[in-house]
Amino acid sequence: MSSQVETVISELRREFGEHLDETRVTHKNEIYYDVASLDWLPNVCSFVHHQWQASFVCAWASDERSRDGAFHLHYVFSLDQFGLFVIVCSPVSVEDSEFPSVAAHMIAANWAEREIRDTFGLTPVGHPHLKRLWAHPDWPSDNYTMRKDFPLNSQPPRVEGDFEFHRVEGEGVFEIPVGPVHAGIIEPGHFRFSVAGEPIISLQVQLGYTHKGTEKLCEGLSVEHALHVSERISGDSSFAHSMAFCHGAERLAHVEVPERAQYLRMLCLELERIYNHLSDIGMIANDIAFLVGYSHAMRVREQVMTLNEKLMGSRLLRAMNSLGGVRRDIPDAAFSSILSTLATVRRELRDLAELLFTSASVLDRLETTGVLAQKIARDVGIVGLAARASGIDRDFRRDHPHLQYHRVSFKVPLYKSGDVNARTRVRVDEVFESIQIIEQVLSQIRPGPIRVPLEKIPTYAQALGYAEGWRGPIVHAIQTDAAGKISRYKIDDPSFHNWPALIFAVQGNIVPDFPLINKSFNLSYSGNDR
């Protein structure tokens, strides 16, 4: 046990003493605390979050009634400075079906608790805004999909009901409903604006349209099978999500992935970051009618997609990840083509950045648009590139070293202004950093095996798996059953944390800037809804 782990455990023992039941440390960096009484759950979580400045990662429930007659809650926090995860746990009895809300003290857990309410029927008492999350109004109220006695294939009837939106009233105030089918080639969701003239007074976001029952679907599956599902949680993060899943399964099985495979995974993660960032830079240019910028960005992005297809057989880097490593080796002979493509990307992006950031009309649209203040970003629990554009210095690649990231040097770009400009610049800077990372990967990588078998998945075990995707940290929690199959699979996409940011960032901006602000976050609907 490392001294940091000991420090964390003894600190919490001193603070809460008899209110903590048991402490377990698994996989070197997961510290589990069982809260002795459910009433103390918010206090312990609040302490970890506020006193230790540990960021909220995710929260989920599991139905373990068949084992011990209770549901179990898990709140995960990240102690970035120690590279540790603290998981505060507590059972909830079937009779009570309620628990004191943590979100009441820590708004970052707002959506997570609403999801627990929707899918398990456990009520967070004192929650500030207990509106349904993905369950639409036509979903019958007593059907909780994540309970074990709800069959995957059941077809509950549609019931009567309307979405609840709060109303802004006053002279000249109008509502603009948008979606779920949007004007662009994007995913479905509903936005409800209240406006007075052009400025937006409030935005409400209704998601859940792409809910596919992904977590439920994986229950009872083998990890081999679920891997393919994980690649399809959010298409633009196919590799990062499958990486987080594999990481979790490998930790469960106590398998160390061969070094060469770790480097190849880094290559893929960075290629995924590059192609998405280029695409977003292009789409941001598109949304301000700077079509030249769009065309150049997309042209360069296509070179990366073509490289992906050539190296991995899939433009979206699917079918590359494997449990225990990767499925394809990249021959050393192909390195030169990777390096030359990346040299082109670097050169082209420099040109493009110059075109963009020296144009007064571009800056006029990007600067001071869609500001997300750092205080709000911290309170709401914003993660990933959106957080870094608001001055929050977090990156799982550095804070929770995985793969071989500790052996490459890279900067974590940070901007303070929190506007569309900052989010665009974070992307530009990160592409340059990713190219540098790949160059180091290709110089450090050595011949060796690319895959080891996962002999046996332990029964009744649990592990976290994670990766820093291009959007932000992706965390998966996997629990196994008596047969070593998946009994609970919690998927946490950065979008789940960042959608609320949009609500704050658009306030006071004009409606025509909404698409631009939305694109500057570019959040996943499917990753959010699952």
Partner 1 sequence: MLKILRKTLQTGRVTIPYPSKPDEPPDGFLGKPVIDFAKADLEKLRVAESVCPTRAISIETDGAKSTVRLSYASCIFCGRCAEAYPEAIAMTTEFELATTRKERLLVSADYVDGKPAQVIALPSQPSLEQLGEQTKREIFRIFRRSLHIREVDAGSCNGCELEIAALNNPIYDLERFGLHFVASPRHADMLLVTGPVTRNMEIALKKTYEATPDPKLVVAVGACACSGGIFGESYASKGGVDKVIPVDVYIPGCPPRPQAILHGILLAIGRVK
> Where would I find the beta strands (DSSP E) of 121-172?
123-125
Question: 19 vs 315, which CB is nearer to partner 1?
Answer: 315
Q: Which residues of 416-450 are buried (b: 16+ CB within 10 A; e: fewer)?
A: ebbbbbbbbbbbbbbbbbbbbbbbbbbeebeeeeb
> Where would I find the beta strands (DSSP E) of 454-521?
462-468, 473-480, 486-492
Query: Among candidates 200, 127, 136, 137, which has minimal Cα distance to 168?
Result: 200
Reported as type and span, the H/E element at residue 206 is strand 200-206
Radius of gyration of the chain (CA): 23
Question: 64 vs 302, which CB is nearer to partner 1?
Answer: 302
Q: CA 297, 529, 385: angle at the middle one, nearest 5?
A: 40
Residue 247: CB minimum distance to partner 1, A: 19
The residue ranges that bind partner 1 (CB under 8 A) are 134, 136, 145, 150-156, 180-181, 183-188, 208-214, 216-217, 224-225, 228-229, 232-236, 238, 279, 282, 292, 295-296, 298-299, 301-302, 305, 309-310, 313-316, 318-319, 327-328, 351, 354-355, 358, 524-526, 529
Question: 181 vs 196, which CB is nearer to partner 1?
Answer: 181
Question: 102 vs 338, which CB is nearer to partner 1?
Answer: 338
Distances (CA, A) of 507 to 166, 283, 497: 15, 22, 18
- Taking a C-beta distance cutoff of 8 angstroms, is the pair 103, 122 a contact? no
Residue 193: CB minimum distance to partner 1, A: 17
Give the Cα separation of 181 and 400 in Å (integer).
38
Q: What is the DSSP letter of 171?
A: T
Question: 30 vs 187, which CB is nearer to partner 1?
Answer: 187
Residue 226: CB minimum distance to partner 1, A: 9
Query: 174, exposed or middle or buried, with CB in 10 Å at 0-12, 13-18, 19+?
Result: exposed
Question: 9 vs 362, which CB is nearer to partner 1?
Answer: 362
The DSSP result for 3-26, as a single string, is HHHHHHHHHHHHHHGGGEEEEEEE
Residue 297: CB minimum distance to partner 1, A: 9
Question: 275 vs 396, which CB is nearer to partner 1?
Answer: 275
Residue 433: CB minimum distance to partner 1, A: 23
Residue 529: CB minimum distance to partner 1, A: 8
Residue 130: CB minimum distance to partner 1, A: 20
